[in-house]
Structure formats: C-alpha cells, structure tokens
Amino acid sequence: MAHYAKLGVGNVVEQVIVAEQDFIDTQEGTWFQTSYNTRGGKHTLGGTPLRKNFAGIGFKYDSSRDAFIPPKPYNSWTLDEDTCLWEAPVAYPEDGLLYNWNEENQTWDVVELGGPDG
C-alpha cells in the first residue's frame, strides 16, 4: 500500500488516500504517489524522498519541480527551491520557546502559555 494524492483544478491536491496501485489505476482524475516519510526533500527514515513533501489537501503539485508545495502561509515568506517549503524572512529562534509569526511586524512573537489557572 502507498499514499496517493488526487489533483484537482490548478494541480491543487483535493484528496489523499492509502491504496494499491491497481486501485488507483481504476480511478478517474490525476493521481500521484506521495511519501508519508518525505519532508523538505528528505526521507525521514533514510529512504528515497518522493516529490519533496508529503502531499496534503490544499498543496499544489508543481510538475517542473516534481514537488508537492504547501500553501504559502504569509505574503512575506519565500519558497526554498531545494526543500519546496516556505521560509520566513527571519529565522525561527532556537531558544526552546514557542513562537508565532507576526506578519505585520515581521517578527517571531513568544507564545505565552497559561499556568494552571489559565
């Protein structure tokens, strides 16, 4: 069994299923195999990566890159051509804290986690 993504209008993924190739061959539409273990052009278990990223609903298949590209999260982010993932204009802080991107200020804002009382 493998994962397959069905493409819709504009090569946007509209469905991802687990199936045998024989079943996919009987289905209408355009289907591409995708690997659950592929992210950023690397296979997480050391295997061969497939189409840069595991497909998700709303991802776009880019035939020139043979890649599934997630939706752009913010206007300021740019596509990394090697990984086919979006990158913020400022690197994510590596200090162990949790951050959310602030598009207006172009900064990473610390997420304040509430204590036992909320």
Tens digits of residue pLDDT in 42-87: 999 999 999 999 999 999 999 999 999 999 999 999 999 999 999 9
Q: What's the average model confidence in pLDDT over 93-104?
A: 97
Q: Which of 68, 77, 70 is nearest to 106 (CA)?
A: 77
Banded pLDDT at 37 (limits 50, 70, 90): very high
pTM of the model: 0.88
- What local confidence, expressed as pLDDT, does residue 5 receive? 98
Residue 22: which H helix or E strand, with range? helix 21-24
Q: How far apart are CA 2 and CA 32, in angstroms?
A: 10
Count CB-CB contacts under 10 A for residue 54.
Answer: 20
- What local confidence, expressed as pLDDT, does residue 36 receive? 95
Taking CA atoms, 43 is separated from 32, 33, 109, in Å, by 17, 14, 31
